[in-house]
């Protein structure tokens, strides 16, 4: 992270979905420290306001829009309100995501739709709306989608989530091709094991997971935020259509069973 005398995103505005906690909030804070104005979004209105105040305390402007991205009407409203607040929106980070862990035999149609809406349909709609506005306004913007290591190495009991995130990676490549002529870059970050929920109840899980990672530790939310920031910086403008796996080389290593 840099100091306030060399902020590389001054004058930019970023919408970060799922930015009330965990990875999303850390990403929003990293972008804010680089000078970006932040539009915070999450399901809980009180949590949105809490994140807005925290980002403002960092010296950046922030605005909150509560929205449940499992509900497509909320997704459309989020896009409309974000563009009304920031007609020249420069950065979109599709971070919001969730998984219902269960065997695929047990997935109900309602659970399937819920996970698909949050993890793929809502990012698709937001990308359409925000990218369309970038084109109309001549903004050479940045879009960053969030996937998962599970898109290439399955999680247990997470077929719908992993499949939806795989679709996000395909969407990233296709969007990069279609939006490149307008100077808009589209990239994706795929987190590995990330300790975005600190607390003693997870300590044993993190310790066990770290033994399977060559770098010897679980990832941190800051590791993901650094990758997202890279894709948003002026210097990375020629990088597009990429999915960056941030996993401590976990995907390169198959531990003994």
In whole angstroms, give the CA distance from residue 64 to residue 50: 9
Rg (CA), the chain: 18
d(CA 203, CA 28): 25
Is 49's pLDDT higher than 70?
yes
> If pLDDT is split at 50, 70 and 90, which confidence band does 152 have?
confident
**Model pLDDT for residues 165-179, shown as the tens digit of each residue:** 999 999 999 999 999
Long-range contact set of residues 110-113: C-beta below 8 Å, sequence gap at least 24: 111/160, 112/160
Which sequence spans correspond to the domains of the chain? 4-249
The residues that bridge with 15 in the sheet, in sequence order, are 39, 92
Q: How big, in percent rounded to 5, are the helix, strand and coil portions of the chain?
A: 50, 15, 35
Give me the pLDDT at residue 255, please. 52
- Per-residue pLDDT at 157 exceeds 90: no
Mean predicted confidence (pLDDT) in 229-236 = 97
pLDDT of residue 256: 44
Question: What CATH number has the domain spanning 4-249?
Answer: 3.40.50.720
165 as an active site residue: the answer is yes
Judge whether residue 3 has pLDDT over 60.
Answer: no
What's the average model confidence in pLDDT over 157-164? 92
User: Averaged over 32-51, what is the pLDDT?
Assistant: 98
Is pLDDT of 253 > 70? no
The mean-pLDDT minimum among 103-112, 121-130, 157-166, 192-201 falls in 192-201
**Catalytic pick from 137, 165, 212, 220?**
165
Which of 21, 5, 25 is CA-nearest to residue 228?
Answer: 25
Mean pLDDT of the chain: 91
pLDDT confidence bin for 124, thresholds 50/70/90: very high
Distance separating alpha carbons of residues 117 and 100, to the nearest angstrom: 13
pLDDT band at 5 (very low <50, low <70, confident <90, very high): low
Tell me which of 12, 114, 137, 161 is the catalytic residue.
161
Structure tokens at 200: 């003693």
Identify how many contiguous H helices and E strands the chain contains and give both numbers. 8, 7
Would the pLDDT of 163 be above 50?
yes
> What pLDDT is attached to residue 210?
82
Q: What is the mean pLDDT of residues 114-123?
A: 97
């Amino acid at each position: 992270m840099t100091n306030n005398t060399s902020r590389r995103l001054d004058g930019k505005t970023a919408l970060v979905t799922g930015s009330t906690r965990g990875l999303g909030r850390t990403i929003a804070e990293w972008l804010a420290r680089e000078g970006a104005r932040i539009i915070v979004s999450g399901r809980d209105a009180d949590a949105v306001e809490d994140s807005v105040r925290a980002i403002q305390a960092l010296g950046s402007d922030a605005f909150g829009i509560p929205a449940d991205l499992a509900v497509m009407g909320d997704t459309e409203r989020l896009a409309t309100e974000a563009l009304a607040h920031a007609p020249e929106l420069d950065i979109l980070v599709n971070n919001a995501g969730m998984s219902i862990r269960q065997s695929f035999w047990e997935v109900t149609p309602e659970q399937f739709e819920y996970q698909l809406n949050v993890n793929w349909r809502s990012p698709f709609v937001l990308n359409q709306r925000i990218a369309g506005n970038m084109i109309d306004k001549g903004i050479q913007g940045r879009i960053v989608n969030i996937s998962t290591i599970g898109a290439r190495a399955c999680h247990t009991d997470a077929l719908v989530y992993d499949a939806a995130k795989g679709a996000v990676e395909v969407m990233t490549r296709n969007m990069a091709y279609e939006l490149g002529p307008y100077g808009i870059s589209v990239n994706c970050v795929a987190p590995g094991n990330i300790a975005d929920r600190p607390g003693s109840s997870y300590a044993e899980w993190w310790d066990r997971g770290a033994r399977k990672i060559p770098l010897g530790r679980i990832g941190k939310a800051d590791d993901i935020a650094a990758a997202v920031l890279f894709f948003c910086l002026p210097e990375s403008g020629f990088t597009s259509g990429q999915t960056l796996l941030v996993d401590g080389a976990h995907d390169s290593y198959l531990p003994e069973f």
